[in-house]
Structure 1
Amino acid sequence: MELDLKSRTAVVSGASMGIGRAIAKGLALEGVRVVAVARRKELLDKLAQEVKAEGGEVIPLIQDITAEDAAKKLAAAALAELGHVDILVNNAGGSRPLPVDAPDSAWDEAMSLNFTRYRQVTHALLPQMIARNWGRIINITGKSEPEGLNAAFAAKAAVHAWAKGLSREIGEHGITINSIPPGRIMSEQIRRNYPEDYRKRFAEEEIPVGYWGEPEDLAVLAIFLASPLARYITGTVIPVDGGLRRYQF
């Protein structure tokens, strides 16, 4: 399928590893000029070299997304590199399990990282998307079946609600916004936190397709949603989880 992405531009946060890396690489190999944002320079440089060898372009941008003024700096740097931004993939974030008596500061940090930065970066880049009458925003979020108290789950639920409301405001400008909650997708963190025997048993008992996903399994959906072909898909939450979730809608 021809996705008609050549000559488009994109910003992908959290792009040094896992899902963000797979999306950044996939977009670049479709002909998109990609600014890849993360904190680890050596990993971004390796990605850029790998993509260049395959005929694509990734521009590394070293940025700590947790900083207070990160959104403004990220938007300005991306626009300076690309001239304009057609596609934004909000992917930076992290799990934040908290005890019931966690201080407000812990909740504030989790909400800032997993919701507020998404909102700030998006709203910083929206005016130039509106001016060009085209844009794609993709949020990598989280599951809606928390097994305990985790501030990241609350933040990702906020992303879903914000994105749905925003989709109603920006649709007339040719801009779509969609959210993708990953299931059990293999990553550096997964390998560190879950032993192989646990992963095997969990896949057999809980995941209908029988295995944990790879970052590329999610990236293919993100890349499609970033394309002109996905013009009639907006305000949605589309899980990529091998059938793990049990709810019907």
Structure 2
Amino acid sequence: MTRIVLVTGGSSGLGKAVAARFRADGATVVITGRGEERLHATAAALDARPIRCDAADPAQVARLAAALPELDVLVNMAGGNTDFTRSGGDSLEDTLAAWRANLEVNLLSAVLTTTALRGALRPGGSILNVGSIGAEYAGSSYGAAKAALAAWTAGLSAQVGPKGITANLISPGYIAETGFFHGKLTDKRRSALIAATHDGRAGQPDDIAETAFFLASPGARHITGQTIHVNGGAHTTR
């Protein structure tokens, strides 16, 4: 049976790489995004089905769920550090707006999408959320949102496990060839991020795509409720 895979935020960056990996395996892939032109261009390139959706908008997420009565893999990739795109000040109002923006984009988007589509996931399915190495420090609204996403994923695993569904979080470190930093990454900072790894290289989108593909494979059915760190050793666990 052909698997049906949904990748939110699948029109660019890591989402696009993950969608391409599942499509290469013959899955029916649905991608979402907010920018219609880029969404349709990516869908055409990947032979995927595009559905325009802002994952933080309940009405749009409800329409997305109505279009997908059955699903095997849900990848909540939509997100990003909204601090890079904001120019707010230091007032309490600005602080509140900055935190709300990152919580909506990185936590609530996954919560809304998963809640809407849980009933569509077939037994043996997988939910994959995407966190960040920034959650290990959580001194910013972005890191705190990703830390909350990891905690929520662990609880989600217990809820969906009886149906044979796994729920895991992939936590990338620095990944090159994406638009995450919006052109604001200096050469000095990039060198420092690479120097922090054990293997001396930047991560690549395919590192995340292959991890996602494995976690949704038959060989990973007993891996659930976990945070999988993909960062070249920049953050280690025991």
| TM-score, scaled relative to structure 1 | 0.84
How many residue pairs are counted as aligned between the two chains?
Answer: 230
- Structure 1, unaligned stretches of length 5 or more? 1-5, 52-56
Q: Contact 2:2–2:26 at 8 Å: present in 1 too?
A: yes
8 Å contact 1:91–1:140 — kept in the other structure? yes
Deviation at 1:67, TM superposition (A): 2.7
SS at match of 2:136: coil
Structure 1 residues 68 and 104: CA distance shift in structure 2, 3 A? farther
State the Cα distance separating 1:182 from its structure 2 match. Answer: 0.8
Deviation (angstroms), 1:139: 0.3
Q: Does residue 23 of structure 1 match 2:18?
A: yes
Tell me, in whole angstroms, the C-alpha distance in 1 between the residues paired with 2:150 and 2:63: 24
Which residue of structure 2 lines up, in the alignment, with residue 3 of structure 1? none
Mapped to 2, the partners of 1:43 and 1:173 lie a distance apart of: 36
| Alpha-carbon offset, residue 196 of structure 1 | 4.0
Deviation for aligned residue 1:229: 2.4
Counterpart in 1 of 2:190? Answer: 199
CA distance in 2, matches of 1:8, 1:136: 11
Between the aligned partners of 1:191 and 1:200, the Cα distance in structure 2 is 17
CA contact (8 A) 2:4 2:29 kept: yes
Query: Following TM superposition, by how much is the alpha carbon of 1:128 offset from its aligned partner in structure 2, in angstroms?
Result: 2.6
Aligned counterparts of 2:231 and 2:201: Cα–Cα separation in 1: 10
Q: Match for 2:110 among 113, 118, 130?
A: 118
Q: TM-score, normalised to structure 2's length?
A: 0.87
Q: Is the 8 A contact 1:134 1:173 kept in 2?
A: yes
In structure 1, the residue matched to 2:28 is: 33
Residue 174 (1) aligns with residue 167 (2): no
Could you tell me whether the CA contact under 8 Å between 1:200 and 1:211 is conserved in 2? no
1:88 alignment partner AA: L
Partner Cα separation in structure 2 for residue 16 and residue 84 of structure 1: 21
* Secondary structure in structure 1 of the residue aligned to 2:180: helix
Go from structure 1 to structure 2 and tell me whether the alpha carbon gap of 1:180 and 1:86 turns closer, same or farther (over 3 Å shift): same
Find the counterpart in structure 2 of residue 92 from structure 1: 78
* Paired residue secondary structure (2:129): strand
Cross-structure match for 2:228? 238
Residue 145 (1) aligns with residue 140 (2): no
| Inter-partner Cα distance in structure 1 for 2:156 and 2:20 | 27
Q: Secondary structure at the match of 1:216?
A: helix
8 Å contact kept, 2:174–2:193? no
Secondary structure at the counterpart of residue 31 of structure 1: coil
Secondary structure of residue in 1 paired with 2:201:
coil
Q: Which string of whole-angstrom CA distances, capped at 9 and with x for unpartnered residues, describes residues 15-54 of structure 1?
A: 1111100000110111110111112233233323332xxx
CA contact (8 A) 1:95 1:150 kept: no
Q: Partner of 1:134: helix, strand, or coil? A: strand
Give the root-mean-square deviation of aligned CA atoms. Answer: 2.2
Deviations 1:124-183, CA, capped at 9 Å, x for gaps: 111232xx423200001112333x732121111111111111211221211000001110
Quick one: structure 1 residues 46 and 136, their matched pair in 2 at CA, closer, same or farther if it must change by over 3 Å?
same
